[in-house]
C-alpha cells in the first residue's frame, strides 16, 4: 500500500508549470481552477489536458462545457494562482482577464493562452482528465514562467536558469 503523504511528497518533487483553466456555465458565468496537472498530449491534432478534482466546485461545469481556456501563468501571478486554488470565493474579480472566443476568460498577462474544444474526458480516480483540442492560442513575446515545486510557487527564468520564489523580480544586471 502506498502512503498518500509520501506519494504527495514524491509528486511535489517534480516541478510543473501552473495554469488557470476556465470555462462558462449554461448562463455564461465564468468558473475556473488552478492546475499544475496540465500537459501537451498530441501535435496532430494539437491536444492538451487539464485535470480538475471531482471535489472542485467547478467540476460539474467543466464536465458540461464544450469549450474551455487555459492561461499559462507568469512567475509573478502567485496571488492569482492562490485565488483560483481557493474554494468559495469570487475568482473573476479585478482586471486580470480579457475575453476570448466563446466569451471565455483568459489571464491578460499570461505567458501563453489557449482556447480549446473538449476532445475527450476520462474518469481517473479523484480527478477527471479533460483533453482539449486547441482551437486558438497566443504566446507573449517574453515572460518568466511560474513553476509549482515542493508545494510552493516559484518563478523560473529560462535565460539564466535560476529559479526564485514567485513574485521576486529578477536581479538587475
Better pLDDT: 85 or 147: 85
Is residue 160 scored above 60 in pLDDT?
no
Q: What is the pTM of this model?
A: 0.86
Would you kindly state where each structural domain of the chain is located, as residue ranges?
16-145
C-alpha gyration radius of the chain: 16
| Mean pLDDT, rounded, for 77-98 | 92
The three three-digit cell numbers of residue 127, written as one number: 480527478
Neighbours of 119 (CB within 10 A): 17
Give the pLDDT confidence of 37-61 residue by residue, as tens digits. Answer: 899 999 999 999 999 999 999 999 9
The three three-digit cell numbers of residue 137, written as one number: 492560442
Check residue 104 and give its pLDDT: 97
Residue 79's H or E segment, with its range, is helix 78-84
- Identify whether the C-beta of residue 50 lies closer than 8 Å to the C-beta of residue 65: no
| The CATH number fitting domain 16-145, selected from 2.30.110.10, 2.60.40.10, 3.90.1150.10, 1.10.3720.10 | 2.30.110.10
Amino acid at each position: 500500500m502506498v502512503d498518500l503523504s509520501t506519494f504527495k511528497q514524491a509528486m511535489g518533487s517534480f516541478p510543473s508549470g501552473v495554469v488557470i483553466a476556465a470555462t462558462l456555465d449554461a448562463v455564461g458565468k465564468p468558473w475556473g481552477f488552478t492546475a499544475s496537472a496540465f500537459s501537451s498530449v498530441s501535435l496532430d491534432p494539437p491536444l492538451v489536458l487539464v485535470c480538475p478534482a471531482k471535489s472542485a466546485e467547478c467540476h460539474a461545469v467543466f464536465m458540461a462545457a464544450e469549450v474551455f481556456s487555459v492561461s499559462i501563468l507568469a512567475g509573478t501571478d502567485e496571488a492569482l494562482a492562490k485565488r483560483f486554488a481557493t474554494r468559495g470565493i469570487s475568482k473573476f474579480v479585478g482586471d486580470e482577464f480579457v475575453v476570448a472566443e466563446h466569451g471565455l476568460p483568459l489571464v491578460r498577462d499570461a505567458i501563453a493562452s489557449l482556447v480549446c474544444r473538449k476532445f475527450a474526458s476520462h474518469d481517473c480516480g479523484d480527478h477527471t482528465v479533460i483533453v482539449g483540442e486547441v482551437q486558438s492560442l497566443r504566446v507573449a513575446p517574453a515572460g518568466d514562467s511560474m513553476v509549482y515545486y515542493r508545494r510552493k510557487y516559484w518563478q523560473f527564468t529560462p535565460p539564466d536558469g535560476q529559479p526564485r520564489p514567485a513574485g521576486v523580480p529578477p536581479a538587475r544586471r
